[in-house]
Structure 1
Amino acid sequence: NAESYLRGGRFLIISGDVLTDFDLSAVIEFHLERKADATILLTRASNPLQYGIVITAPDGKIVRFLEKPSWGEVFSDTINTGIYILEPHVLELIPPSREFDFSKDLFPLMLQRGDKLYGYVADGYWRDVGNLSEYQQAHFDVLGGSVSIAIPGERKGNVWLGKGCTIGRNVEFRGMVILGDGVTIGDECIIESSVIGSQSCIEPAAQIYRSILWNGVTVGQAAFLDADVVGNGVQIGAHTTVMENVFIADRCRIGEHATLHPNIKLWPDKHVEPYAIVARSMIQEEKWARELFTDARISGTSNAEMNAEFAARLGTAIGTALPIGATVVSSRDPDPTSRLIKRALVAGLLSSGINVEDLQTTPIPQTRIATHTRGAALGFHVRRSFRNPNQTDIVLIGSDGRDISTEGTKKIERYFYGEDIRRVPFERVGQLRYPERQNESYLANYLQLLDAERIRQRRFRILVDYSFGMAISIFPGILGNLGCSVLAVNGYIDPYRASTTAADEDNRREISSIMRSLGYEIGFKIDPGVERIALVDDRGYWFSSMRLLTIVTALFLESNRHRAPFTIAVPVEATSEVDMIAARYGVQVIRTKNSHAAMMEATRDQRVLFVGGTRGGFIFPEYSTATDGLYTVGKILEMIAVTGFALSELDTQLPKRYQARRAIHCPWHRKGAVMRQLMEWSTSYRRDLIDGVKVFTDDDCSILVAPSPGSSEFMIVAEADAEDRATGLVEMMAGLVEQWRKDK
Structure 2
Amino acid sequence: MYIGKKNEIFDYAVIGAKCKLKNKVKVQHAAKIWPNKTIAEKTKVKGSIVWGEQRPNVLFRQNGISMRAHVDAHPIFITQLASAYSSLHEKGSHILIGFDNHPLSQALGSLFTQCLHMYGMHTNVYEGGYLPAFRYILSHKQYRGGVFVTLNEHDEVVIDIHDEQGFPIDCTMERAIEQRMEHEHHMSAMQMGEAMKQKENDEMYIRALRQAISFSSSERWKVVVASSPLLKHIIERTLLLFAVDVVWTKERDDEHIRKLIEQEQAQFAIVFDYSGERFRMFDGQGVVLTKEEMISLHVLTSLLFSETKKVAVPSWAPSVLHTLAERLHGEMIYVKDTRRDLLLAHHEPFHFYLDGLYACIQLLHLLAIERCSLRTIVSSIPTIHLSCRDVHCPWDERAAVMRKLLEESYDKHVDFTDGMKVYHEDGAWTLILPKVDEPTLTIYSQAANAQKAKEYTKYYIKKIRQYQNV
Could you state the TM-score of these two structures normalised by the residue count of structure 2? 0.82
| Aligned-pair CA distance for 1:287 | 8.8
| Aligned-pair CA distance for 1:376 | 0.7
- Give the match for residue 616 of structure 1: none
- 1:514 matches 2:260: yes
**What CA distance in whole angstroms lies between the structure 1 residues aligned with 2:326 and 2:399?**
36
Change (3 A) 1:736 1:623: closer
- Give the match for residue 591 of structure 1: 334
**What CA distance in whole angstroms lies between the structure 2 residues aligned with 1:358 and 1:465?**
27
**What CA distance in whole angstroms lies between the structure 2 residues aligned with 1:391 and 1:423?**
30
Of all paired residues, the percent bearing the same amino acid is: 20
| Aligned-pair CA distance for 1:559 | 4.7
- Give the match for residue 179 of structure 2: 414
State the secondary structure of the residue aligned to 1:407: helix
Look up the equivalent residue of 2:178 and give its one-letter code: E
Alpha-carbon contact 1:559-1:639 (below 8 Å) kept: no
| Aligned-pair CA distance for 1:302 | 1.4
Alpha-carbon contact 1:521-1:538 (below 8 Å) kept: yes
Which 5+ residue runs of structure 2 have no aligned equivalent? 1-50
Which 5+ residue runs of structure 1 have no aligned equivalent? 1-283, 491-502, 607-620
Look up the equivalent residue of 1:349 and give its one-letter code: L
| Aligned-pair CA distance for 1:383 | 1.2
- Give the match for residue 405 of structure 1: 170
How large is the RMSD of aligned CA atoms in angstroms?
2.6
- 1:602 matches 2:329: no
Change (3 A) 1:555 1:397: closer
Alpha-carbon contact 1:459-1:485 (below 8 Å) kept: no
- 1:379-390 superposed matches below 5 A: 379-386=146-153, 389-390=154-155
- 1:576 matches 2:319: yes
- 1:536-685 superposed matches below 5 A: 536-559=282-305, 563=307, 566-603=309-346, 621-623=348-350, 627-685=354-412
- 1:416-495 superposed matches below 5 A: 416-419=181-184, 421-425=185-189, 427-436=190-199, 438-451=201-214, 454-455=215-216, 457-490=217-250
Change (3 A) 1:557 1:424: same
**What CA distance in whole angstroms lies between the structure 2 residues aligned with 1:734 and 1:626?**
28
| Aligned-pair CA distance for 1:431 | 0.4
- 1:352 matches 2:119: yes
Aligned with residue 693 of structure 1, among 399, 410, 420: 420
| Aligned-pair CA distance for 1:626 | 8.6
State the secondary structure of the residue aligned to 1:464: strand
- 1:735 matches 2:462: yes
State the secondary structure of the residue aligned to 1:699: coil
- Give the match for residue 438 of structure 2: 711
State the secondary structure of the residue aligned to 1:599: helix
How far does the alpha carbon of each residue in 1:366-418 deviate from its partner, in whole angstroms, 9 at most, with x for none? Answer: 221222222111100011134xx132111101000001122222332332112
How far does the alpha carbon of each residue in 1:322-342 deviate from its partner, in whole angstroms, 9 at most, with x for none? Answer: 111111100112222211211
Change (3 A) 1:290 1:556: closer
Instruction: Out of 466-475 and 367-376, give the one that drifted further.
Output: 466-475
Change (3 A) 1:475 1:390: closer
- 1:269-418 superposed matches below 5 A: 290-294=57-61, 297-386=64-153, 389-418=154-183
Alpha-carbon contact 1:313-1:345 (below 8 Å) kept: no
Change (3 A) 1:727 1:463: same
Name which structure has the greater RCO, CA cutoff 8 Å, separation 6+: 2
**What CA distance in whole angstroms lies between the structure 2 residues aligned with 1:533 and 1:358?**
25
| Aligned-pair CA distance for 1:643 | 4.0
Alpha-carbon contact 1:401-1:625 (below 8 Å) kept: no
Which of structures 1 and 2 has the bigger CA Rg? 1
The structure 1 segments of at least 4 consecutive aligned residues displaced by more than 6 Å after TM superposition are 284-289
How far does the alpha carbon of each residue in 1:704-743 deviate from its partner, in whole angstroms, 9 at most, with x for none? Answer: 1122222222111122333332222211111111112239
Change (3 A) 1:595 1:528: same
Change (3 A) 1:400 1:509: same
How far does the alpha carbon of each residue in 1:212-260 deviate from its partner, in whole angstroms, 9 at most, with x for none? Answer: xxxxxxxxxxxxxxxxxxxxxxxxxxxxxxxxxxxxxxxxxxxxxxxxx
State the secondary structure of the residue aligned to 1:410: helix
Change (3 A) 1:366 1:286: same
Alpha-carbon contact 2:129-2:275 (below 8 Å) kept: no
